[in-house]
Amino acid sequence: MKKALFLLLAAGMLSAQTSDLLSNNWYISKMVTSAGQTTNTPLIDGGVLPSKFTSAGGTSYSFSSKYYNTSGFLVGIMPGTNNMIMTANAGCTQLWYNGGNAVPVRNYDQKNCDYFANASYGSVFTYQVTTSGNLKTLVITSPSGNKMYYNNTSQLSTAENEIVKKEFRAYPNPVTDVLHLENVEKNLMLRIHDASGKLVYETKTADRKVKIDVQAFQAGSYILTVEGYKSLPFIKK
């Protein structure tokens, strides 16, 4: 009798978890590797987009894991379990993000794509939904033990969005010799990455006006980031 009651309770909990899984919008909040390394979701212009499960008929669903780009695939949710089996290989959109906090956002965006794309047809993921007050957290665990966390509410506050939206002035663009920056705060990290994402220059701002000698840079496209400001794409002639 006790065993039967336990099985009924377990089945009810799994049913509730499946209902929560399918009825909520989910906002990616962090990734944790099987080795325990945690990467929190970086601030992104416009906030994190909602991820969603959509019915594809029967026990089949499409899942779109969204950050800037979208990683999408089909899963079969196995009744009476917290398992999801991949029934079609994942694909990912290939949009190029040029907003604030660009380098961390792009790196995280690629991880979101790779998380599901690195799995193959027939791979089994597990999921768990936990509830704390109005906050629900979804954890999807890959076959290799890596975990993706989502919440049913966006994690970006108004204050954080305001920080990301600060801008500075930079000229000339395109530039040949010296790039001038104005309206930046002191003692902030300033970095320049090339189009491949390689770090080519790094310093701290010493004044509200900054001069950067780019004569030694190869001709091409670059992204300049200053901590807490929108990033700036520029061209070296």
pLDDT in tens, 17-72: 678 888 899 999 999 999 999 998 888 887 888 999 998 888 899 999 999 999 99
Contact 177, 215 (CB under 8 A): yes
- For residue 188, count other CB atoms closer than 10 A to its CB: 17
Specify the pLDDT at position 14.
Answer: 43
pLDDT value, residue 15:
54
Tell me the per-residue pLDDT of 154-184, one tens digit each, with 9 for 90 and over.
Answer: 754 334 444 445 788 999 999 999 999 999 9
Q: How far is CA 36 from CA 30, 33, 40, 121, in A?
A: 12, 5, 13, 26
Average pLDDT along the chain: 84
The DSSP secondary structure of 111-151, one letter per residue, reads: HHHHHHHTS-TT-EEEEEEEEETTEEEEEEE-TTS-EEEEE
Residue 165's pLDDT is what? 54
The pLDDT value recorded for residue 59 is: 85
| Residue 48 confidence (pLDDT) | 87
Contact between 148 and 28 (Cβ < 8 Å): yes
- Per-residue pLDDT, 66: 94
